[in-house]
Amino acid sequence: MSTLQQPDVVMTVTPAAVAEVKKFMEAEKVPTDVGGLRVSVQPGGCSGFKYALLIEDQAADDDFVIPSDGFRMFIDPFSAQYLNQVTIDYVSSMQGSGFTFKNPNSTGGCGCGSSFSA
């Protein structure tokens, strides 16, 4: 039997981002007590890694589950190492709207705002 220890992953989700996540969960009819927001880091993007968000019905067996304001975040073990201290925001501007990520641990990034290097 293996024991998976919860990492020290502290994430901030701004009120604007919380409202948008809840809208998406409601639209997809995903209950907040079981489902949640998958936050992941994937190889790719113009700087080496990219962020991904996805509404999911339930956590995977090896996910870290982090409570947020009215919903849960699911983070896989690979992504957890890159997400500590990240702030997720939702911004609207004349150029468009969407989620943004502020990662104090990244060593570089690009203009798209969803790609970073570590």
User: 54-98 pLDDT, tens per residue?
Assistant: 999 999 999 999 988 889 999 999 999 889 889 999 998 888 899
Burial 18-57 (b: 16+ CB within 10 A, else e): bebbbeebeeeebeeeebbbbbbbeeebebbbbbebebbe
pLDDT digits (tens, 9 = 90+) for 19-47: 999 999 999 999 988 999 999 998 876 66
CATH of the domain at 37: 2.60.300.12
**2 in a structural domain:** no
**49 in a structural domain:** yes
**4 in a structural domain:** no
**73 in a structural domain:** yes
Please count the structural domains in the chain.
Answer: 1
pLDDT at 90: 94
**6 in a structural domain:** no
Residues 29, 35, 36, 42: is their CA dihedral positive or negative? negative
Token pair for 104? 């104090």
**8 in a structural domain:** no
- Domain span including residue 59: 16-117
